[in-house]
Amino acid sequence: MAKKFKVNFPKAANIVFIIYAAIFIIGIVFTVINGVKLDINFSGGTRFTYLYTGDVDTAQAKSVVEGKLDNQSVTVTTSEGINGGSKKLVVSLAGDNAVSVETQENILKALQEKFKDNNIQLGDSNSVNPSVAGEFFAKSLYAVGIACVLMVIYVGFRFKRIGGISAGVMALVALVIDCFVAFFTCTIFKLEIDTNFMAVILTILGYSLNDTIVVYDRIRENERKLGDQTLTEIVNTSCNQCLVRNIMTSVTTLIAIITVWVTAEYFGLTTLRTFVIPMAFGLASGCITSILVAVQLWLKYQNLKAKKRA
C-alpha cells in the first residue's frame, strides 16, 4: 500500500524549509515578547504548596501573596486530584531572595483570612539556591548534548555505506529543529522550562531519530535493488515507502499524548502541561523532519558532492 504513494519529497521539502523558517521567526518573536520562564529548579527560588478545599481564585491569591512579599512577582497555579479531594495551590517565587519563616506564616495567615471557607493549610515549602539551580540546568543541557553526539556516532557507524557521518549530521539538524519547536511551544504558551521539558527533549530525540533511521535503512536497501535509478529517485521511492509507517507511528503516539493532555486539563492537573504540550508539537515536528528535512538535506549534500566529483 505504501508503494502507491507518489509524493515528490524533494520538491515538498523546499516548502517545508520555508514553513520551518516562518516557525522559527514566530518562535523568536514570542520568546522576545514573553521571555523564557525557568522553573525554580533551573533558576533558583522558593515554592510553597498549600492544601485547600472548595474553589480559590488564583488572581486573588496572587494579589494576597505579592502584598506580603513587597509586591515581588510570583506565579500561582492550582492542581486537583482525579478524585477531586486533593487540591493544591502552588506559589512560586523566582530569585535568590530567601523567604523568612515569619513571612511564610504571614502569607499563610493572609490566605486563610482571604479565603476563610477554604481551610487553607501549608503543605510544604521548597527553596533552591540559584547557583545550584544553574549547575543543575547546565548538567541537563550536557546530558542532551551527549545524547546528540552519541546519536550522530551511531548513525555514522550504522550507515557507512551511504555516507554515515553526513547522514548523522543531517539527522542531528532535524533533531535540533524538533527541540526548538518544543522550546518555542513553551514560550508561545508561556510554559515553564522544567525537568518535564528535559524529559520531553530526550523523548523527542529518540522518536525523531528512530523515524529517520528507518528511512535511511530503506535507502540503503533500495540502493542494492534499484541500482539503475538516480540517488534522487531512490530517496524519493524510499520516502514514499516509509510514509505510512512514519505517519501511523506518530499518530498513535500523538493520540496517547493528546489523551493525557485532555485528561489533565479536565481534572486540573496543570503541572502536566509542561510535558504534554511541547511533547505533542515536538513529536508532530519529528514526523515531518525525519523525511522532509534530515533525509532531504542528506540528499542535497550527496548530490552536491557528486557534482564536485564530476
> What percent of the chain shows pLDDT beyond 90?
37
pLDDT for 56 equals 85
* Contacts for 227 with CB less than 8 Å, ≥ 6 apart: none
Query: Residue ranges of the domains in the chain?
Result: 2-39+132-309, 45-128
Residue listed under C-alpha cell 508532530: 284
> Looking at domain 45-128, what is its CATH homologous superfamily?
Ferrodoxin-fold anticodon-binding domain (3.30.70.380)
pLDDT at 239 over 90: yes
Q: Are 155 and 177 in contact (CB under 8 A)?
A: no
Say which CATH class 2-39+132-309 falls into: mainly alpha
> What type of residue sits at position 4?
K
What's the confidence (pLDDT) of residue 3? 44
- Taking the model in full, what pTM does it have? 0.83
Q: What is the pLDDT of residues 84-108, one digit of tens each?
A: 557 888 888 876 666 777 888 889 9
pLDDT at 105: 87
Residue in the structure block whose three cell numbers are 498513535: 252
pLDDT at 2: 42
Report, as an integer, the average pLDDT of 266-277. Answer: 82
Is the dihedral angle over the CA atoms 110, 113, 118, 124 positive or is it negative?
Answer: positive
Structure confidence at residue 103 (pLDDT): 83
pLDDT tens by residue, 208-238: 888 999 999 999 999 888 878 899 999 999 9
Which of residues 93 and 23 earns the better pLDDT score? 23
| pLDDT surpassing 80 at residue 181 | yes
Give the highest mean pLDDT range of 25-29, 79-83, 218-222. Answer: 25-29
pLDDT band at 300 (very low <50, low <70, confident <90, very high): very high
Cell output for 137: 540546568
**Mean pLDDT calculated for residue range 18-23:** 96
Give the pLDDT of residue 98: 63
3-state secondary structure the chain: CHHHCCCCHHHHHHHHHHHHHHHHHHHHHHHHHHCCEECHHHHCEEEEEEEECCCCCHHHHHHHHHHHCCCCCCEEEEEECCCCCCEEEEEEEECCCCCCHHHHHHHHHHHHHHCCCCCCEEEEEEEECHHHHHHHHHHHHHHHHHHHHHHHHHHHHHCHHHCHHHHHHHHHHHHHHHHHHHHHHHHHCCCEECHHHHHHHHHHHHHHHHHHHHHHHHHHHHHHHCCCCCHHHHHHHHHHHHHHHHHHHHHHHHHHHHHHHHHHHHCCEHHHHHHHHHHHHHHHHHHHHHHHHHHHHHHHHHHHHHHHHC
| Segment 277-294, tens digit of pLDDT | 999 999 999 999 999 999
What is the reported pLDDT for 4? Answer: 61
* Amino acid occupying residue 303: N
For residues 180 and 186, what is the distance between their CA atoms, to the nearest angstrom? 10
Average pLDDT score, the chain: 86
C-alpha distance from residue 97 to each of 70, 93, 247 (Å): 12, 9, 49
CB 101 within 8 A of CB 94: no
Q: Quick: pLDDT tens for 102-142.
A: 888 889 999 999 998 888 998 888 777 767 767 877 888 88
Structural contact between residues 295 and 167, judged by C-beta atoms closer than 8 angstroms: no
Q: What is the pLDDT of residues 148-169, one digit of tens each?
A: 888 888 888 888 888 778 999 9
